[in-house]
A and B are shown apart, each in its own frame.
Chain A
Amino acid sequence: MNETWLILGASSAVARAFAREAAAHGAALLLAGRDMEDLEHQAADLAIRHGVSALPMRFEARELASHAGFVAECRQRAGSGLLNVFLAFGVMPDQAEADADPAVAAGMVEANFTGAASVLGVLGPVLEAQQGGTVVALGSVAGDRGRKRNFLYGATKAALLVYLQGYAARLSGAGVRVLCIKAGPVDTGMTWALPRLPFMASPREFAAAAWRRAGRGGGSAYLPVIWWPVMTIIRLLPTPIFNRLNI
């Protein structure tokens, strides 16, 4: 397989599991993130387990000015192969923390949305030029309806979804598939300390499902799929009832 997956936010548990999935299918990996020590461990692991090439790359979502150079380097590293993108970075501070500190709120918007829009924007022409490839981005069920518990996080993911819809439309002519995964909670460091969450998927199960779904084409998809009926109900709840729920 002459394909490369660029993993943005590669140290997250979900991204790690997705990278393993891609490597198991023979893809080369570009592992982009901030924790270089960790990315080196991951690159070694993928190369040894699956015999693929895996390269750590420094990437900071909030350093918008660096994105053009970063993308150019990715293009070059992917060689003549098809470049695909898995966008997994994002932060989820406590809603209360974000309420109390505008810098925390702004930092989250910057990382989860501004950074994503910026790097995807720069990647657009590259994907168009190769006339193909797949973009998978991690949205969240939290983006379906603003809940008391984490509506700022949800808002960043809702914004990302809308962005991806237009992005998909623009790139569809070039044969690029764009998939937004509306992720339910996954058993990672992000959710470890939270109270028990329903329908939790392991990173491995989640990544396997994401890989299969990506193979079937773009659009948006709930993962695990149980979130489709659940969120349908939550979206349909009348506002007065919804507002009284403590979710």
Chain B
Amino acid sequence: MPDTLAAQAATRPTAWKQTALQGWGRSSLSPCLAARPERLRELRAALDAPEGRTLIAHGGGRSYGDAALNTDGAVVVTGRLDRILGFDPATGELVAEPGVTFADLLDVFLPRGFVAPVSPGTAHVTLGGALANDVHGKNHHHAGSFGEHVLWFDLLLADGRMQRVSPESDPALFQATIGGIGLTGLVAALCFRLMRVPSNALAVRRRRVRNLDDFLAGFAAAGGATWSVGWIDALAGGASLGRGVLETAEPAESGIEARPAKARRFPIDAPGWLLNGASVRAFNEFYWRRVPASGQQVTVPYRQFLYPLDAIEGWNRMYGKQGFRQFQCVVPPGPGEAALRQLLETVAAGGNASFLAVLKVMGPQGQGMLSFGMPGYSLALDIPARPGSEAIFARLERITRDAGGRIYLAKDSLLSAESFAAMYPRADEFRAVRQRVDPHRRLSSDMARRIGL
């Protein structure tokens, strides 16, 4: 008797609820059925979505567009699967469930002298999300993207099988899943290597940069830096086009006193008029002038350098109810330099209130079939969702494509299927793997349908 009861409890149907999810840009609401498994057994059960609906994983919800949305389909929220399963301090090898976040890693491992080898710009990203978008950090130019550090992962396939996938065991499935925007299966655990650091702090140098040429020269000169990133005032045009602040950082030999991080919360959906040209211009100007003309050298905790935006929780509400979109592309060196100028001119001319744009030098092509990273320059900027903003995106997409660059799926909500095909040359290889592991397309998302996968 007790055993049958236990069996009943074990096979209890997954709790699904009708809800509506948004990407980080909040530019659209997506109704769906959602489950939030708390353990592996429930994750397995969630694979069987009601009414034969298609399914997609949803991690921290930090993708700006529709990578983790499945309108009228089913969505599996993975944040409660947040256990660290193994750690070897000798090698730095970490095994964890997919809902563990970069914030968890910082809390647990920085005091022991380890950090994630690659980290995106917010600590709220989950490891599952990091794998699925093959994310990059400010050290992409020599650390590559997240997938480069992954040794294996456990993938729950559409047919219910759990497979441990490594570059040796199934290279195609490995490369399809890294950067595969959740379409090959549900990652149930992953193993990657943390990086040793001497202290909890970074020695950061900042300097003002007058324009785009100055920036590119600055990056070239800073090629040896462990981390580097450029903040561009996207409203500055003319001779100041591309002006901004170049930041480079190295691990600091000695640490600084750790203060508990306390985020402030952005209280409301800001009214639309708040982000007008003048207010953003003033902010960007302030940001530029904050750095003394002679440059600046400071020692800051990792959190502050890696995740500056996390200081204000829910900052995405600053763009008001209509939300915003982010544009991020990478363009190859050479033709990319002219493209960067065109991209910045397009945005500056549109007078689109964009806070600081981010310029990074990118390193090697990622191994994922749909990995974003490739040698060149990456430019990211926010544009409020307003009438007319889609036309600007179409122009930015065109410029990127013509320069032989690509748009980052983690940020995207508008890329056309045609441009996707032009930008991601391994898409057919990806389709073939998907045909093998999910012939009935049980996994799908708004993004997958939009870009024709």
Contacts and interface: CB of A to CB of B under 8 A. Distances in A.
Are A and B subunits of one complex? yes
Contacts of A38: 39-41
Interface string B1-44: 11001101110000111000000000000000001111111100
B80 interface: yes
A189 B42 contact: yes
A145 to B, nearest CB: 26
B39 A41 contact: yes
Interface of A: 11, 13, 16, 34-35, 37-38, 41-42, 44-45, 48-49, 60, 62-63, 91, 107, 110-111, 188-189, 192-193
B38 A193 contact: no
17 contacts: A13-B38, A16-B38, A35-B10, A38-B41, A41-B40, A41-B83, A41-B85, A41-B97, A45-B85, A48-B86, A49-B108, A60-B2, A63-B2, A91-B9, A189-B80, A192-B35, A193-B17
Contacts of B42: 189
Contacts of A60: 2, 6
B83 A45 contact: yes
B433 interface: no
Contacts of B10: 34-35
B83 A192 contact: no
Contacts, number: 63
A62 B5 contact: yes
Interface string B286-305: 00000000000000000000
Interface of B: 1-2, 5-6, 8-10, 15-17, 35-42, 80, 83-87, 97, 108
Nearest to B41: A35
B41 A37 contact: yes
Nearest to A11: B39
B40 A48 contact: no
Among A11, A44, A111, which residue has the most Cβ atoms of chain B within 10 A? A44
A192 B86 CA distance: 29
Contacts of B9: 34, 91
Nearest to B42: A189
A49 B84 contact: yes
Interface residues of chain B: helix, strand, loop or mixed (majority): mixed
Contacts of A62: 1-2, 5-6
Interface residues of chain A: helix, strand, loop or mixed (majority): helix
B310 to A, nearest CB: 18
A45 B84 contact: yes
A35 B38 CA distance: 12
Contacts of A91: 9
B313 to A, nearest CB: 14
Contacts of A42: 83
A107 B97 CA distance: 32
Nearest to A66: B2
Nearest to B16: A193
Contacts of A192: 15, 17, 35-36
Among B16, B41, B42, B80, which residue has the most Cβ atoms of chain A within 10 A? B80
Nearest to A187: B36
Contact of B40 (A16, A37, A44): A37
A186 B417 CA distance: 43
Contacts of A63: 2
Contacts of B108: 48-49
